[in-house]
Amino acid sequence: MQIDKELVTYLETLGRIALSEEQRAETEKDLQSILDYIDTLNELDTDGVEPASHSFPVANVVREDEVTNTARAEEILQNAPDSREGCFAVPKTVE
């Protein structure tokens, strides 16, 4: 897999991150060496292998449909950098 500047920029957009030009160049180089190494995984024959998303066979862990929480807007908002009128406040979103 060949990493280029365009891909790095795309990945920045996906992750909502902006790198400086210098960081971008360095990241391109680092990601390239990491991915070259990761590509060794292609040597592993995985034909017909079922992907494993969970470690152990657990299923059907559910809770009952019962209200257990009470109103605590103040606590929920206590860490917010900006809150107004009981809401989290963010710079205006435009549609």
Partner 1 sequence: MEIIEMGALALGSAIRRREIGVREAAQSYLDAIEAKDSELHCYNTVCREEALKRADEVQKGIDNGTYTSPLAGVPVGIKDNICTKGIKTTCSSKILSNFVPTYDATVVQKLRDAGLVPLGKLNMDEFAMGSTTETSFTGPTHNPWDVSRVPGGSSGGAAAAVAARLAPITLGSDTGGSIRQPASFCGVSGLKPTYGAVSRYGLVAYASSLDQIGPLAHDAADCAALFAEIEGKDKMDGTSMENPKFDFTAATTASLAGKTIGLPADYFGEGLSSEVRAAVEAAAKTCEELGAKVETFPMPIVKYAVPAYYIIACAEACSNLSRYDGIKYGYRSEHAENLMETYVKTRSEGFGMEVKRRIMLGNFVLSSGYYDAYYNKALKAKKLIQQSFFEAFEKYDMLLGPVAPTTALKLGESLSDPLKMYLGDIYTVMINIAGVPSMALPCGFDKAGLPVGMQFIGKPFCEAEILSAAAAFQQATDFHKQSPQER
Partner 2 sequence: MEWEIVMGLEVHTELATKTKIFCGCSTEFGGEPNTHVCEICSGMPGTLPLLNRRVVEFAVRTGLATNCEITRKNKFDRKNYFYPDLPKAYQISQLYLPICRGGFIEVKAADGGTKKIGIHEIHMEEDAGKLVHDEFSDCTLVDYNRCGVPLLEIVSEPDFRSAEEVVDYLEKLRAILQFTGVSDCKMQEGSLRADVNLSVRPKGQAEFGTRTEMKNLNSFRAIARAIEYEARRQIDILEDGGKVVQETRRWDDNRGVSYAMRSKEDAQDYKYFPEPDLPPIEISDAFIEKVKAEMPELPEAKKRRYIEKLGLPEYDTSILTSDLAFVRLFEATVELCQSPKDAANWIMGEVMKLLNDSGTLPEDMTLSPEKLAAVINMVKAGKINRGTGKTVLEKVFAQDVDPETYVKENNLAQITDLSALRPVLEEVIAANEKSVSEYKGGKTQAMGYIMGQAMRALKGKAPAQEVQKLLHEMLDS
Buried-state track 65-77, b at ≥16 Cβ within 10 A, e below 16: eeeeeeeeeeeee
- Min dist CB 77 to partner 2, Å, is 6
- Min dist CB 16 to partner 1, Å, is 4
- Contact between 82 and partner 1 per CB under 8 A: yes
Neighbouring CB atoms inside 10 A of 22's CB total 8
List the single partner that 11 binds among partner 2, partner 1, none, CB under 5 to 8 Å by kind.
Answer: partner 1
- Contact between 10 and partner 2 per CB under 8 A: yes
**Cα 30 to Cα 88: distance, rounded to the nearest angstrom:** 37
With contact defined as beta carbons under 8 Å apart, do 4 and 11 qualify? no
Enumerate binding residues for partner 1 (CB under 8 A): 7-8, 10-12, 14-19, 23, 27, 30-31, 33-35, 37-44, 46, 49-56, 58, 61, 63, 72, 75-76, 78-82, 88, 90-94
